[in-house]
Amino acid sequence: MILTTPFHERVAALNRTGLWEHWSNHLAARRYQLSDKAEYFAVRDSAGIFDTSPLFKYRISGPDAERFLAGMLARDVRACPVGQAQYTCWLDDRGFLVEDGVVLHTAPDEYLLASAEPNLAWFADRAGRLDVRLEDESDALGVLAFQGPRSRELLARLVPAVADIPPFGVTAGEIAGAAVTVSRTGFTGDLGYEVWVPADDALPVWDALWESVRGYGVQPFGLDALHMLRIEAGLLLLDVDFTSSRYAWNDAHRSTPVELGWEWMFADLAAEDRAFIGRRALERELEERTSRWTMRGLVVDWHDYERVYDEAGLLPPRDHTPVLEDWMVYKDGDRVGYATSFMYSPVLQRHIAIARVRPDLAEPGTDVKLEFTVNHRYEQVAAHVARLPLFNPERRKAR
């Protein structure tokens, strides 16, 4: 069954291409106009609006809500006070990643957890005798991502408290008479916010926001532009850059959070008195340094890139369209990793990738070779390892 989001009536009217994809059984716009690059630059230069309502959304409440989540989530939710959000993940018993998501601490003993795939049963089966309630609010809430350098000043005209919340801050307000929750979160690597609104109030909220930004270069953007934005920001996508351990065919398709570059989540692990699913496996990995990969960025040498195409009698393409498939990475003739997302970055003006490399080659500046096909033949082009994110504007973290 094909579903539509609470904002579908408005986004469908704006979608001039008629291009849609399925996202959690919902219709999601690929792009609204012929140029997805125009949508991309709206976000990087002004602001863009993205309908992220197909996310699964679970409200977790009750006297034992914090205790429950502290045992389920790999990152310590106890360090997330009311009025804050936290990027987090949850693991299986072997320390492999089940999924990632964002948790909002909306009130004492109440949290809102968002994820790309359904996880209600995973959490509910482990509640045991704790005094905790888990409610599926996936259909009850619409979510708009409002992202870009002008997002703060424009959204603050409708919800003044937005002007003062820090990165991953959460506040409440009203838009068009409807109660909304606003979090300083997003998936673009830019300054940005997400507006959480009851589904019944979705259209009036959209109309008020859309009318308030008229004349400021704000555009709706779709999945194609989102891929471009998140690759530059080094934000990993489920089923592209990693696979849930629940659905992986074997361990080669599974990942640990350390292998994905999320070791920063566990900087204080030794000082925590918290038992959570996967902790022992995670501790062994950190202590014994058994990670198979390190997630890094790759920046392609444009001189060598042009050489490969010149020798093939072709014009070197600078195609911004993301390539979401495995491209092998080599060092001295040996395969040492693989890229999972590749594109030409319009803002960096370089071909870039998100890639896994061997931990001993993860030092920024390490020279490697990226393999792809030209004229139906495998070619290798020079690249160097770089830390993620590759695009990280100061406004993203500014107070």
Helical H segments across 125-182, by residue range: 151-155
Q: Which of 170, 172, 186, 182 is nearest to 221 (CA)?
A: 186
8-55+139-232 and 294-389 share one fold: no
Would you identify the CATH topology of the domain 8-55+139-232?
A: Gyrase A; domain 2 (3.30.1360)
pLDDT > 90: percent of the chain: 97
Q: What is the pLDDT of residue 192?
A: 98
The answer, as to whether pTM is greater than 0.85, is: yes
Q: Is 156 exposed, middle or buried (0-12, 13-18, 19+ CB in 10 A)?
A: middle
Per CATH, domain 294-389 is 2.40.30.110: yes
pLDDT digit string, tens, across residues 365-398: 999 999 999 999 999 999 999 999 999 999 998 8
66 contacts 109 by C-beta, under 8 angstroms = yes
d(CA 65, CA 108): 9
pLDDT tens digit sequence for 196-248: 999 999 999 999 999 999 999 999 999 999 999 999 999 999 999 999 999 99
pLDDT, one tens digit per residue, over 147-196 is 999 999 999 999 999 999 999 999 999 999 999 999 999 999 999 999 99
- The residues spanned by each domain of the chain are 8-55+139-232, 294-389
> Looking at residue 399, what is its pLDDT?
80
CA nearest 46: which of 190, 177, 237?
190
Closest CA to 298 of 256, 245, 353: 353
Q: Is 215 left (phi over 0), alpha (psi -120 to 50) or beta?
A: left
CB neighbours (10 Å) of residue 55? 19
Q: What is the pLDDT of residue 25?
A: 94
283 Cβ contact partners less than 8 Å away, ≥ 6 residues apart: 269
Tell me the three state secondary structure of residue 109: coil
